Structure 1
Amino acid sequence: MIDVYAAADLFPAGTERQLGEELTFAILRAEGVATPGPFHLNNTAVYLHRMAPPTVQTAATAAARTVRVQVITPPAALTRQGQKQLVKEVTEIVAKISGDPAQAGRTWVLLTEAAEGGWGIAGTAYGREEFAALAAKARGAQ
């Protein structure tokens, strides 16, 4: 899951789909998914939280241009190299789509790993064992 928090006017109108797709593929690449199938594409979601500019604050300004991107992954889904790759790509995507190269210096990327059994879908709380079985089933269906 990917949550993007930004001032409502930071990204140009009509760029929501581009932002969603590019962030989705960035996380899948970082997780080592070479050829994403329906399982990955249907279940990797991006939530865009566009907020009124005054609701994004720093000590320096009442209308900050910072962006917060939080990525939540299953346990051990990202290696250290995957973490580095994902933070770099997410930052580049946000700066590119915002149209402001300086946005990279105001983009925070938070990587959060769900606790073992701390995430679920379709009524099942998944841990490593359940996730591995689900992924194997998805690979077999392709």
Structure 2
Amino acid sequence: MPMIDIYAAAGTFADPHQVAQDAAIIVKTAEAVPDIPMFRQNTAGFVHELPASNIADAEGASDHVRVQVITNAGALDRDKQLAVVAQLTDLVVAASRNEALRERTWVLLTEATAGGWGLWGHAQTNEELVTAARSEIASLQAKAAGDA
């Protein structure tokens, strides 16, 4: 269940909430995890709007965006990494209506170490996350069978 942090100058995006949601959907879809509440409700995007004066490159320009995606270890193979970076960059460009940000957007992919992924008040390992997902899927299937 990734966390996506997007840092940009205030006013870069007309609808930061939609950008946050779209970023979460992009990463959840790229991970190809089951579409269950565990993943839908715990993959989240955060847009951090900063004063332009708080952003600068070596020349002093402030029109940059930084996107950091934190996942559990091994969630994104190379193809998924390429897809996430391309799609999040496309999202930034489209949402900002600023094509120049294609060359000024950094996407950082970071993996939490095993046990370094806290969810539900517990430091989860990948194995524990897989077990929890399987349990939720089985519970949803049992409920659906009972409703039929």
Correspondence for 2:89: 91
TM-score by structure 1 length?
Answer: 0.92
**How many angstroms does 1:37 deviate by?**
2.2
Counterparts of 1:20-39 in structure 2, within 5 Å, are 20-33=20-33, 36-39=35-38
Q: CA deviation digits over 1:76-130, x for unaligned, max 9?
A: 1111100000000000000000011221111000000000111111121111211
Q: Distance in 1 between matches of 2:136 and 2:94?
A: 33
Correspondence for 2:67: 69
**How many angstroms does 1:28 deviate by?**
1.0
Q: CA deviation digits over 1:50-73, x for unaligned, max 9?
A: 000100011112x51100000000
**How many angstroms does 1:137 deviate by?**
1.6
CA contact (8 A) 1:9 1:53 kept: no
Q: Distance in 2 between matches of 1:74 and 1:92?
A: 24
Correspondence for 2:6: 4
CA contact (8 A) 1:10 1:98 kept: yes
Correspondence for 2:52: 53
**How many angstroms does 1:26 deviate by?**
0.7
Q: Distance in 2 between matches of 1:123 and 1:25?
A: 24
Q: Structure 2: state its 5+ residue gaps.
A: 141-148
Correspondence for 1:128: 126
State percent identity of aligned pairs: 38
SS of corresponding position for 1:54? helix
Q: Distance in 2 between matches of 1:84 and 1:38?
A: 26
CA contact (8 A) 1:118 1:127 kept: yes
Runs of 4+ in structure 1 deviating by more than 2 angstroms, as ranges, are: none
Q: Structure 1: state its 5+ residue gaps.
A: none
What residue identity is the alignment partner of 1:91? Answer: T
